[in-house]
Structure 1
Amino acid sequence: MYKNKGKICATIEARMTSTRLPGKVLMDFCGKSNLQHIIERLKRSKYLDEVVVATTVNKDDDAIVELCEKIGCKYYRGSEADVLLRVLDSAKSVNVDYIVEITGDCPVIDWRHVDNLIEMFFSGEYDYASNTIERSFARGFDTQIFPVKILEEVNEITKNLVDHEHVSIYIYTHPEKYRLINWKADDKINHPEFEITLDTKEDYEFIKNIYGNLYPSNPDFSAEDVVELLLKNQELTKILNNTRRKDPFKEQREWEEKHGKEL
């Protein structure tokens, strides 16, 4: 348990116009959309006061709003390009003090990880806690928490377009400014080679297999359950061998080299 120092929300970044896999947030796994699964998994948290979907004003995202209204989840519509500002305004719309940032391409996100990271964050005087500063968890379990006031500061400090696309990247790439803490996976779940994010058609088939194996018997399956499944059935991961992911750190460096560190 932790001493409550303010309200916490999880923001879920979601839009229909993904470049590589349009409409991925509403793709179906076992009869429910990807986004609905993420919402339901996060709402099991013991510590989150709110879950809010951070979507855009783009008309294509009306479908996301319809889902949120149907299942009773809060949402905020903001900038499509400036994701940092959209997440910040989403958190402000529900009047919270801390943000747990989640992306809409993580259908196997584990609420237990969220709660563990919240406890870690409040165990000391930190500005940012994450399980990704040093990669030990599989991609797809990514969880991070930081104060709203820190994101407000970052919004004012940097004009780097990459920082505004990848919300918290400025925080964890500036350890000289911010107090960071990293949660390292234990041996049982320390498998950073696994990538369980929904970015391509291959990812969809891969994650659909995970849900098909785990969800029918246990809708609240854990990250450990996912890793155990993949270790026992490594042929499931072969479909992903040629998948190429974006490198936000490379994009950030290139933007800074062209425009200067901060404007």
Structure 2
Amino acid sequence: KVVLPFYQENSILDILLAKIRKHFSYPLVVATSLNPKDNLIQHICESHQVVCFRGDEHNVLKRFVDCANRFEFTTVIRICADNPFLDMDFMQEIIDAHLTSKADYTSFCTSEQLPVIKTHYGVFCELVELKALKQVLNNTSEQLYLEHVTNYIYTHPELFKLNLLPIPPFLEEVKMRLTLDSLEDWEILKLLYADCVKRDPDFTTATVIDLLKKDGYKLKIMQQQIEKYSK
């Protein structure tokens, strides 16, 4: 899903790599699996001159730890490659907050204290210390935690120092879903992305919400998908 043409001839991975490179100068690595079906991901990375790390397909946590060890990273900004609406301003806020907090994990949370990685927003990254990921590997072999890299950390606040920032209230004005799991998601997000770029090539999340407020059809589909893929 991240390698198919999403906007014009560009895939979601193309869009994300270009956007991140435009706004940040941090080392950028795409961590994918050794499965041959992911060879196209590596090809796209090479076309952007971005490093592609190949690792364990099912133990995603180990893949992240191995990747961080390989490049001697001590802190990881984790981005889901199927989030075309990733917001660079929110990413900068997370980075700034993490640098001053000495936390193990930094991201945003909803007004109900739900970490945004558990929501359907699809505009946030998360920042985590490698030592925390290694601790998870040592503490558990439960598949849930090996597949969902940071889940163990934010569900065990007694073991880790969490820094969860409150999301801006305007994000909760509409029930939007900008994450991608299904064909229905793909079709709606593809249309929405084109609408946003038409409005402003450098659109923000506020632009997305403004457009969605005027589009009952897309919101209805999103609501159906939120119920179908409740996290």
- Please report the TM-score for the alignment, with normalisation by the length of structure 1: 0.78
Q: Partners of 2:30 and 2:152 in 1: how far apart?
A: 22
What is the aligned partner in structure 2 of residue 40 from structure 1?
Answer: 18
Residues 79-130 of structure 1, C-alpha deviations (whole Å, 9 max, x = no match): 1100111122222333222111111221111121111111111222211111
Aligned to 2:2, what secondary structure does the other structure show?
helix
What is the aligned partner in structure 2 of residue 250 from structure 1?
Answer: none
Aligned to 2:127, what secondary structure does the other structure show?
strand
Higher mean alpha-carbon deviation, 187-196 vs 150-159, is at: 187-196
Q: Partners of 1:95 and 1:218 in 2: how far apart?
A: 38
Residue 41 of structure 1 contacts residue 110 of structure 1 at CA under 8 Å; is this kept in 2?
A: no
Q: Partners of 1:155 and 1:41 in 2: how far apart?
A: 31
Matched, 1:134 2:118: no
Aligned to 2:22, what secondary structure does the other structure show?
coil
- Please report the TM-score for the alignment, with normalisation by the length of structure 2: 0.88
Residues 54-83 of structure 1, C-alpha deviations (whole Å, 9 max, x = no match): 111101111111111111111100011001
Q: Partners of 1:242 and 1:222 in 2: how far apart?
A: 24
2:182 to 195, 200, 205: 200
Q: Partners of 1:191 and 1:202 in 2: how far apart?
A: 22
| 1:229/1:238 CA distance change after superposition, 3 Å | same
Residue 42 of structure 1 contacts residue 110 of structure 1 at CA under 8 Å; is this kept in 2?
A: no
| 1:76/1:152 CA distance change after superposition, 3 Å | same
| 1:138/1:190 CA distance change after superposition, 3 Å | farther
Residues 163-206 of structure 1, C-alpha deviations (whole Å, 9 max, x = no match): 00000000000010111111212222334721111111110111
Residues 192-223 of structure 1, C-alpha deviations (whole Å, 9 max, x = no match): 72111111111011111111112245333212
Residue pairs, 1:160-179, within 5 angstroms: 160-179=142-161
What is the aligned partner in structure 2 of residue 12 from structure 1?
Answer: none
| 1:187/1:222 CA distance change after superposition, 3 Å | same
2:45 to 68, 89, 95: 68
CA RMSD, 1 decimal: 1.9
Residue 175 of structure 2 contacts residue 222 of structure 2 at CA under 8 Å; is this kept in 1?
A: no
Q: Partners of 1:87 and 1:231 in 2: how far apart?
A: 37
Residue pairs, 1:31-110, within 5 angstroms: 31=8, 32-46=10-24, 49-110=26-87
What is the aligned partner in structure 2 of residue 18 from structure 1?
Answer: none
Residue 107 of structure 2 contacts residue 115 of structure 2 at CA under 8 Å; is this kept in 1?
A: no
Q: Partners of 1:135 and 1:151 in 2: how far apart?
A: 17
- How many matched pairs? 223
What is the aligned partner in structure 2 of residue 258 from structure 1?
Answer: none
| 1:162/1:150 CA distance change after superposition, 3 Å | same
Residues 2-36 of structure 1, C-alpha deviations (whole Å, 9 max, x = no match): xxxxxxxxxxxxxxxxxxxxxx1112222200111
- The structure 1 segments of at least 4 consecutive aligned residues displaced by more than 6 Å after TM superposition are none
What is the aligned partner in structure 2 of residue 111 from structure 1?
Answer: 88
- Note the C-alpha offset of 1:135: 5.2
Identity level (%): 28
Residue 138 of structure 1 contacts residue 191 of structure 1 at CA under 8 Å; is this kept in 2?
A: no
Matched, 1:214 2:196: yes
What is the aligned partner in structure 2 of residue 239 from structure 1?
Answer: 221
Aligned to 2:144, what secondary structure does the other structure show?
helix
Residues 38-69 of structure 1, C-alpha deviations (whole Å, 9 max, x = no match): 222222334x5112111111011111111111
Gaps spanning 5+ residues in structure 1: where?
1-23, 248-263
Gaps spanning 5+ residues in structure 2: where?
none
